[in-house]
């Protein structure tokens, strides 16, 4: 076992006592190591690189990358008002709240500076943690969300301050799919999965176990060497280890509805690390655009399109960390990278308990011991 594999395995081993199952990936020096521990669910085996997890809000980096791709294709403008994108809906133009003369733009949605609340109107934060609620977002149809949006009061003037909003990210995915004339899943497949070769990044689109799920990158389940994705789907659990239902985010998958694997997400992180060194790679221009956009949150942290970024204090090494985490009813995820040191870290877990400490510690270890010049 090489040193990178040993460090990744150590991180996975520490997670085994905290989660039903977990998969950890470390990227450094052009190498990727992935290790799994625990089990995928009741009666399941050890999760691995191709085990499918709900990735929650890590979905937002895919949504932002789609935005960047469509901006570069002149399909949308980064500063185009949301109301313009939704102006030609089947039920007429959507009513989008404003404040002063500043409309909500697509940039605001991707950087959480829209002033929108965290959740759609009519939803309470406590609904997300009700142990017996099978899917708190199940009723979030486009009609429900846009109807509530018309009655929503902004918390701040768009563009002025950072306020994390699941609603905003969900609306961004909804708007981009509307402008592209396709579904969100198909849009992600076309703009991100196909160029990168991601085989297992997708949205739940059918009943579990029915075989009706669509595949990322335009593939069918049969294309995965006889192993269908449903059979590789981990089961989510509460912090106490009790199985819980999957989530389906209805009309708002852009805020957290994707499922993926450690293998696919490692490819995404590798593309993020390579963007500056390989400017002609398929997604490099879009990745560059996502990171050129920056809204300052505080002296040490900022918001890119989709990704959060911060610089550690010099006493902690002064390293750059670009990251996002995620969570659904029974899953947690953490993805981070440092383009300066050319390292990345990923944790996927099928338990409702934070994976951030383990992922952050792994990234810092890689920055310290495995860094190479960017």
Spans of all domains in the chain: 3-60+200-369, 62-186
* Rg of the chain over all Cα atoms, to the nearest angstrom: 20
Q: In the structure, what pLDDT confidence band is assigned to residue 90 with cuts at 50, 70 and 90?
A: low
pLDDT for the residue numbered 312:
87
Q: Same topology for domains 3-60+200-369 and 62-186, yes or no?
A: yes
Question: What is the architecture, at CATH level 2, of domain 3-60+200-369?
Answer: 3-Layer(aba) Sandwich (3.40)
pLDDT in tens, 334-368: 999 999 999 999 999 999 999 999 999 999 999 99
CB distance 148 to 122 below 8 Å: yes
| Domain 62-186 superfamily per CATH | DD-peptidase/beta-lactamase superfamily (3.40.710.10)
Residue 173 backbone zone (phi > 0: left; psi -120 to 50: alpha; other: beta) = alpha
pLDDT in tens, 39-76: 999 999 999 999 999 999 999 999 999 999 999 999 99
Mean confidence (pLDDT) of the chain: 90
Name 259's bridge partners.
Answer: 54, 202
Q: Which of 338, 370, 342, 336 is nearest to 356 (CA)?
A: 336
């Amino acid at each position: 076992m090489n040193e990178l594999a040993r460090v990744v395995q150590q991180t996975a081993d520490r997670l085994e006592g905290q989660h039903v199952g977990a998969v950890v990936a470390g990227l450094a020096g052009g190498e990727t190591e992935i290790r799994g521990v625990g089990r995928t669910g009741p009666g399941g085996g050890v999760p691995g690189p191709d085990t499918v997890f709900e990735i929650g809000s890590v979905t937002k980096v895919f949504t932002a990358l789609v935005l960047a791709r469509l901006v570069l294709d002149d399909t949308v403008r980064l500063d185009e008002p949301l109301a313009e994108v939704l102006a030609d809906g089947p039920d007429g133009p959507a009513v989008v709240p404003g404040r002063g003369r500043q409309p909500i733009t697509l940039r605001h949605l991707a950087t959480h500076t829209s002033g929108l609340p965290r959740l759609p109107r009519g939803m309470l934060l406590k609904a997300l943690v009700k142990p017996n609620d099978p899917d708190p977002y199940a009723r979030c149809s486009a009609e429900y969300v846009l109807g509530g949006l018309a009655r929503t009061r902004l918390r701040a003037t768009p563009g002025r301050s950072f306020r994390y909003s699941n609603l905003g990210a969900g609306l961004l995915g909804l708007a981009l799919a509307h402008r592209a004339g396709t579904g969100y899943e198909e849009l992600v497949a076309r703009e991100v999965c196909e160029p990168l070769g991601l085989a297992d990044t997708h949205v739940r689109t059918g009943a579990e176990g029915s075989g009706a799920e669509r595949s990322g990158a335009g593939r069918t389940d049969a294309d995965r060497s006889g192993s269908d994705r449903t059979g590789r789907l981990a089961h989510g659990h509460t912090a106490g280890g009790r199985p819980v239902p999957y989530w389906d985010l209805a009309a708002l998958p852009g805020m957290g509805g994707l499922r993926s694997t450690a293998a696919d997400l490692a490819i995404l992180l590798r593309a993020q690390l390579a963007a500056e060194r390989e400017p002609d790679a398929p997604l490099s221009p879009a990745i560059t655009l996502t990171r050129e956009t920056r809204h300052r949150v505080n002296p040490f942290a900022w918001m890119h399109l989709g990704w959060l970024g911060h610089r550690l204090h010099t006493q902690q090494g002064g390293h750059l960390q670009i990251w996002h985490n995620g969570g659904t009813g029974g899953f947690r995820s953490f993805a981070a990278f440092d383009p300066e040191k050319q390292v990345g870290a990923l944790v996927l877990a099928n338990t409702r308990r934070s994976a951030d400490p383990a992922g952050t510690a792994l990234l810092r270890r890689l920055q310290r011991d495995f860094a190479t010049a960017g």
